[in-house]
Chain A
Amino acid sequence: MAGKQKHTRLKNQLKMGEVKVLGSWSSPYGLRVQWALGLKSVEYEYIDEDLLNKSEMLLKYNPVHKKIPVLVHNGKAISESAVILEYIEETWPQQHPLLPKDPYERAMVRFWINFLDNKDKVAPFITFFIGVGEEHKKAVKEAKELLKLYEEQVLGEKKYFGGEEIGMLDLAMGWMAYFGVIEEIVDVKILDAETFPRLHAWIQNFRAHPVIKNNLPDHDRLLQNYTEKRQRFRANSPHTENA
């Protein structure tokens, strides 16, 4: 029995090959990739990038966009988080499938990932974080409309966006899992349990999963880092009402 187990482990290790992830400790796009690998029990080397001082490795592996995340599998580099997630699903399909089998269901997952990653849909949350005055008010309204859409139409009655188990769309929605820190800094709550009970429940479930729990950015570090970021943006922005 022991020999067979060793053989299977060796086979899995060979199949796994060498996996590297270039990410950034607070980036939800990088975390998606780490979560996906974690759920599929794929071992990888994590390399943290300083985005203000990008490494030679990053520039070599992603010359077109020069961005994280990048997945390097047996020396071959793949960029863009949505592309990486599909690759991970196709390369390690047996463990913890991240996509449904039905082509129509898959199209719906892809549609929503594409939707929430669109810069127009991300913008209200960014403006919520760094904006002031009228533009901030507008951002709050738009952000709440998007959250309502996600709560009612996308999540609905399901435990996870992926159904009974965490799927690709849950990973893409993962930024919500630590959005509380943003709300703390801005001192405005928009994703509250009363208005969005289902999303609130989803956040608790998602954060509690062992793979996710062990791969969330540290709260205090986020608080400090994001507070500094916010101050920097506001100091440089022509829109600020106060210096």
Chain B
Amino acid sequence: MAGKLVLLDFWPSPFGMRSRIALAEKGIPYEYKEEDLRNKSDLLLQMNPVHKKIPVLIHNGKPVCESVIQVQYIDEVWHDKAPLIPSDPYQRAVARFWVDFVDKKIYDLGSKIWKTKGEEQANAKKEFIECLKLLEGELGDKTYFGGESLGYVDVALVPFYSWFYAYEKCGDFSIEAECPKMIAWVKRCMQKESVAKSLPDQEKVYEFVLQLKKLFGIE
């Protein structure tokens, strides 16, 4: 079930990182194409006409859009290598629920932290920490959300770690101080080559955020 695999991506995108990790976990070779989001390629516009967004996974010329859908697709097609989604229907539902939770909360709250100031930022920080604490509760004593190996929730959440330093600098707070279990889990994930190779350096992401702030005229 090999065929040609291309990932249209943008280096700081936590969504793109999810697909990078999934592919790396399963040892699947693919062509990585960096997109300039201010000058989107014809290929991107053709492959994702509805959203015009990255990441786009192109398998034998057919596009799969939306990172959570890509990870599920990758898991279904290459199901015999490093399965990410549990096999039990109830465990799958639990994993899907928490991935949906990450999608609903983490990106938007994180964005508010670096984009806003004052009360709006304070509220975003508070809610962000509350969400991480809920996730810590779900993790419990497990090594990973997926148990003994990386799972669907791990893959969906760990990319945001590359943005933590930027959130902390912009929001003037320490995520580790509030959520030590989360950071301990992150460190375990970062020991895996698939994760370490897929996440950019936090300092680079912070520099990128500073550039964005200048671009949008945010103090």
Contact = CB atoms under 8 A, between A and B. Distances in A.
Contact of B89 (A91, A103, A106): A91
A86 B62 contact: no
Given A83-B96, A87-B90, A103-B77, A64 B64 contact: no
Interface residues of B, number: 23
Nearest to A93: B89
Contacts of B72: 106-107, 110
A110 B90 CA distance: 19
Nearest to B96: A83
Contacts of A90: 89, 92
Nearest to B138: A64
Given A107-B64, A111-B66, A115-B50, A78 B76 contact: no
Q: How large is the interface on A (under 10, 10 to 19, 20 to 34, 35 or more residues)?
A: 20 to 34
Chain A interface mostly helix, strand, loop or mixed? helix
A78 B90 contact: yes
Contact of B93 (A86, A104, A149): A86
Most chain B CB within a 10 A radius of its CB, from A73, A110, A149: A110
B76 A103 contact: yes
B120 interface: no
B201 interface: no
Interface in A48-88: 64, 73, 76, 78-80, 82-84, 86-87
Contacts of B64: 104, 107, 111
A103 B68 CA distance: 14
Interface of B: 50, 59, 62, 64-66, 68-70, 72-73, 76-77, 89-90, 92-94, 96-97, 100-101, 134
Interface of A: 64, 73, 76, 78-80, 82-84, 86-87, 90-91, 103-104, 106-107, 110-111, 114-115, 149
